[in-house]
Amino acid sequence: MLECVINISEGRRPEVLDAVAAACGSALLDVHTDADHNRSVFTLAGRTAGEVSQAAMALARATIERIDMSGHSGVHPRIGAVDVVPFVPIEPVRMEQASAAARAWGERVAEELGVAVFFYGPADPEGRTLPDIRRTAFRERQPDFGPPEPHPTAGAMAVGARPFLVAINWELAAGGGGLEADVEVARAVAQEVRERDGGLPGVRALGFALESKGQAQVSMNLIDLSATGVEAAFEAVRQAAAKRGSDVTAVELVGLLPAAELERCSGEFLAWSGLSSELTIEARVGAADRSA
C-alpha cells in the first residue's frame, strides 16, 4: 500500500475543492479543509505506485487549472498551488519504493505541467527537509526538475517521501487581551514544544491566528511517532499554555492517523479529543476495499 497526502493552497472555494476531489477517483480516502489556512489536504492511497501516481497527477492538473497563487492569501506557509506531495509507504511497501515513486512522479509533473519541483526527505539525495525548501527555494537552491523560476500562477512543488506522520492542531482558549495577544501565546507555546528549539523530539509546531473563530492555534506535525505521540504532544501543549494563562480547548486532526497511535492513547484523552478508529488510515482503506 502506498499513500500520498497532498496539500493544496485552497480552502475557501467549495467548487474548486469538489472538482479536485472528483479528479482523484477511487484513490481518494479523505479531504480536510481549513479556510483560515486556505489549505486542504487530500489523502490518496492505492495498492500500486502507478495507481496512486495517476490519481496524484490528476489532482495536480485539476488544481493548477483552478488556482492562481498571485492572489492567494492564508496563514500557512506555502510555495505553490500544489504545495506539498509526500509519498508514504505502508507495509509491505518500503521507504525506498516510496522514494522512487516520488522521484518518478516529480520528474513527470515538472515535464507535463511545467512546474518547478524540489525533492525532500528520502526522495532527495541530500536528505533535505520540507522547512529547508521553504527557506531556500529559488534563492539558495535550484529546482530538481522544471523551470528555474516559479510558475506564474502555480508557484512550485515540494515532492518527497516520509514515514507516516500526524498533523494535528490545538486550539487555545481566548484570553482577555484579544486575538493578537493569544497568537503571541500560541507562538510561544509552539516554540517551547518543537524540537528545533529544544522541545519534544520529532515535533514541528507554529502558532497561528484563526480569524474565523477569534482564537489562536498551535499547528503541529508529529514526524516521529515513536518519539512523540499524539497524547504526549497534547500534554506538552497543555502545560506550556497553562504557564501562560491559557488552555487547550479543542483538537483538530488534519487527515488520518495510524491505528497503532490510537492504541497508545488513554481513554480519557480519546473521550476528550473525539479521535476514533474511523479516522485511521486502516479504517479508510478497509472501507475503500469493501466498496470496490
pLDDT of residue 249 exceeding 80, the answer is yes
Tell me the pLDDT tens digit for each residue of 13-66.
999 999 999 999 999 999 999 998 899 999 999 989 999 999 999 999 999 999
- Is there a single domain that holds both residue 142 and residue 186? no
pLDDT of residue 158 exceeding 90, the answer is yes
- Is there a single domain that holds both residue 147 and residue 183? no
- What integer pLDDT is reported at residue 77 of this predicted model? 81
- What integer pLDDT is reported at residue 18 of this predicted model? 98
Which triple of cell numbers denotes residue 88?
A: 508514504
Q: How large is the average pLDDT for residues 177-206?
A: 97
**Which CATH number do you get for residue 74?**
3.30.990.10
- What integer pLDDT is reported at residue 91 of this predicted model? 85
> What is the tally of structural domains in the chain?
2
Which triple of cell numbers denotes residue 123?
A: 526522495
- What integer pLDDT is reported at residue 292 of this predicted model? 62
- Is there a single domain that holds both residue 49 and residue 85? yes
- Is there a single domain that holds both residue 193 and residue 129? no
- What integer pLDDT is reported at residue 72 of this predicted model? 79
- What integer pLDDT is reported at residue 84 of this predicted model? 98
- Does a structural domain hold residue 290? no
Q: How large is the average pLDDT for residues 265-290?
A: 92
pLDDT of residue 291 exceeding 80, the answer is no
- What integer pLDDT is reported at residue 26 of this predicted model? 92
**Which CATH number do you get for residue 185?**
3.30.70.670
- Does a structural domain hold residue 14? yes
Q: List strands edge to edge, sheet with 156-161.
A: 28-34, 39-46, 2-8, 82-89, 156-161, 116-120
Q: How large is the average pLDDT for residues 221-245?
A: 97
Report field, pTM of the whole predicted structure over 0.75 = yes
- Is there a single domain that holds both residue 191 and residue 214? yes
- Is there a single domain that holds both residue 99 and residue 202? no
Which triple of cell numbers denotes residue 85?
A: 506531495
Tell me the pLDDT tens digit for each residue of 70-106.
887 776 789 999 999 999 998 899 999 999 999 999 9
- What integer pLDDT is reported at residue 64 of this predicted model? 98
| First-to-last C-alpha distance (Å) of the chain | 15
Q: How large is the average pLDDT for residues 232-251?
A: 97
- Is there a single domain that holds both residue 155 and residue 217? no
Q: Which of 144, 161, 178 is the last residue of a domain?
A: 161
| Active centre residues (catalytic) | 76
Percentage of residues in the chain having pLDDT higher than 90: 90
Q: How large is the average pLDDT for residues 102-111?
A: 98
Which triple of cell numbers denotes residue 149?
A: 523560476
pLDDT of residue 256 exceeding 90, the answer is yes
- Is there a single domain that holds both residue 128 and residue 143? yes
- What integer pLDDT is reported at residue 290 of this predicted model? 75
pLDDT of residue 5 exceeding 90, the answer is yes
- Is there a single domain that holds both residue 145 and residue 277? no
Collapsing DSSP to helix, strand or coil, 159 comes out as strand
- What integer pLDDT is reported at residue 124 of this predicted model? 98
Angstrom distance (rounded) from CA 275 to CA 256: 10
Secondary element (H or E) of residue 204: strand 203-210
Put residue 112 in one of left, alpha, beta given phi > 0 → left and psi -120 to 50 → alpha: alpha
- Does a structural domain hold residue 69? yes
Tell me the pLDDT tens digit for each residue of 119-152.
999 999 999 999 999 999 999 999 999 999 999 9
Domain containing residue 59: 2-161
